[in-house]
Each structure stands twice: as C-alpha cells, then as structure tokens.
C-alpha cells in the first residue's frame, strides 16, 4: 500500500491529470487523499479504474472512444474516479 500512496502523492504533486489502474487499493486512497486535497485547494488526479484485463491496444481504443467523457471528468472535477470498460464505457465511481 505504501507504494500506491507514493504513486498517488507523485501524481498529485506533479499535477497529473489521471492515474490509470486496475488496482482497487487506489479506491480508498483516492477517497481519503482526494477529498482532503480538494478541501485544502490541492490537486487531485482523476482515478481511472479499468476493471477488465485488456490489451494495450484495446485500452488505447477505449481512451480514444471515451476521450470526451474522461476530459469532462478531469476538467469538471465533479468526480474523483471513473470506471472505463469495454461493456460499461466510462462511468463515474464516486463523488
């Protein structure tokens, strides 16, 4: 878990737009750290959770297909995380 915390801190400190992962450990980190960062005026990267084990080409295709949705989450800051899947598309996970 420490490594996941370090990844989140690095992404936040360097103002990354998003963290893309299949690791569910990031859910708790994103809820806890993301909400705190927002309250303190800090940067919170969007968590993009990919629930399926897919190839890199399929992942690139998903990002291309859902660029507008993902950009909306990044720009709007309405959600801390979204799920990106072949069947489900791009869906918010939690506020």
Residue range 34-75, pLDDT digits in tens: 777 766 777 889 999 999 999 999 999 999 999 999 999 888
pTM of the model: 0.85
Asked if residues 45 and 7 have their Cβ atoms less than 8 Å apart, the reply is no
User: Would you state the structure tokens that stand for residue 47, as one six-digit string?
Assistant: 């968590």
Q: Strand order in 89-94's β-sheet?
A: 18-21, 46-49, 81-85, 89-94
72-84 b/e (C-beta count within 10 Å ≥ 16 → b): ebeeeeebbbbbb
Element (H, E) at 47: strand 46-49
How many angstroms from the chain centroid is the CA of residue 83? Answer: 8
Residue range 1-38, pLDDT digits in tens: 569 999 999 999 999 999 999 998 888 888 888 777 76
User: Would you state the structure tokens that stand for residue 37, as one six-digit string?
Assistant: 């960062």
What's the confidence (pLDDT) of residue 31?
85
Total tally of structural domains belonging to the chain: 1
Q: For residue 68, what are the domain limits?
A: 2-94
């Amino acid at each position: 878990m420490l490594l996941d915390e370090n990844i989140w801190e690095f992404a936040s400190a360097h103002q990354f737009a998003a963290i893309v992962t299949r690791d569910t450990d990031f859910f708790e980190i994103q809820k806890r750290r993301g909400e705190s960062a927002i309250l303190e005026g800090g940067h919170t990267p969007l968590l993009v959770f990919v629930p399926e084990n897919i190839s890199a080409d399929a992942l690139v295709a998903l990002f291309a297909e859902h660029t507008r949705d993902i950009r909306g989450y990044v720009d709007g800051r309405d959600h801390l995380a979204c799920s990106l899947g072949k069947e489900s598309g791009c869906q918010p996970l939690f506020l």
